[in-house]
Amino acid sequence: MNIVSKELFQHMVRIRREIHMYPELGYQEENTATIITRELKRLGIEATTGIGKTGVIGRINKSNDTGPVVALRADMDALAIQEETGLEFSSKTEGVMHACGHDGHVAMLIGAASLLKESLQTGSVLLVFQPAEEGGGGAQKIMESGLLVKAEAIFACHLDRHYKTGKLVVQAGTISAFTDRFDITITGKGGHAAQPHDAVDAIVVASLIVMSLQTIVSREVNPLYPSIVSVGRIEGGSVPNAVAEKAKLSGTIRTTDTQIRDQIMSGITRIVDAAGTLHNAKVSVNFTMGYPSVINTVEESEIAKTAVINSIGHNALVDTKFACMGGEDFSYYLEKIPGCLVRLGSQKKGLECIPAHSSTFDFDEDALGIGAAFLAEAAKLTIERLS
């Protein structure tokens, strides 16, 4: 799709592939920050570096600090995954890869910066390159810096392989889930597998808890509220001929409503305590609060829809009433600044069923031009409304 010039598109592809070859985990994005700073300097855009350790914020200022201020955000970090894509620009860093498209997010924002540098007439745009979205909460560090205190709106795109390239999902309200974690520790009584009556089997208790937890969502939570309880890790025992004394379970809770969130945590605690009492084991559960839900504001969502129509076309717009159950620390920005996170279709032919956070993840690079054009248009429309 010829949304941006061929030269700009090719430049974004080069940036994306350079970043992809040298991925960095959260708060370690030193090389990525250097690439970003290099590109902003090439465009003549001032930048502040070292924000939240590795973050970068560029600023395009056309109003001498007096006009409206809009922020655009891209996350920078990669994941601890060994790449198996076979791409010619595959990761050169052992055990680390861009498996969620953040390399594309950076390239898109640099593309949007190029468009805005030439077309912005008034106001200021903050180009936020954020570290550590993948569990590190880098958005909080950016907000704590105080550099976004004057921002009156914020927008972002996230590549999404669920939708074809050329489609953008814009919806107001809740679009992602709370991402809470639970850790359960079980202590029984070890013994010989041939004399189980002399022991308390922690693995049996853990198994009961795993199966019982599944009934919380299926039998206790109102089905009108999307919810997930998943056990992702189980540890217990050391040899096959001994009753395990200890076991550990770890998992995630995904909800979109605070009351349901509390209800599920209460249900987990009740089930864990009951299983311990039933089998005479010592049990404990600890909860770690994750990212809040992303809640797009209504007015900014309408601006985003207009931006999609203006830059790509009305047929590109997808409106869904369903939240994604993934998490996003963009939520921290929206607690203070009105804004909208848009899902950008980037489904690559032959990889339609490959999810994000997979060792074979890749996306259609044609989405880069679409994302850059959308971000630039959303910034300009917002400044026009605020002027």
Q: Is 353 among the annotated ligand-binding positions?
A: no
357 is in an annotated binding site: yes
Q: Is 100 assigned a ligand-binding role in the annotation?
A: yes
Name the active-site residue from 24, 29, 133, 365: 365
Strand, helix or coil for residue 131: coil
Whether 324 has a binding-site annotation, put simply, is: no
Is the Cβ–Cβ distance between 138 and 55 less than 8 Å?
Answer: yes
Please give the structure tokens belonging to residue 239. 């040899």
Q: Is 340 annotated as a binding residue?
A: no
Helices of type H across the chain? 6-21, 30-42, 102-119, 138-144, 202-219, 258-279, 298-311, 330-334, 367-386
- The values of phi and psi at residue 73, to 5°, are -120, 140
| Of residues 34, 36, 60, the one with CA closest to residue 46 | 60
What are the angstrom distances between the C-alpha of 43 and each of 99, 260, 296?
28, 48, 31
Distance CA 187, CA 202 (A): 6
Q: In whole angstroms, what is the distance from residue 23 CA to residue 110 CA? A: 17
- d(CA 28, CA 181) in angstroms, rounded, equals 24
Selecting among 291, 328, 332, 377, the annotated active-site residue is 291
291 is catalytic: yes
What residues are annotated to the active site? 291, 365
Known binding-site residue numbers: 100, 102, 134, 158, 357
Known binding-site residue numbers for Mn(2+): 100, 102, 134, 158, 357
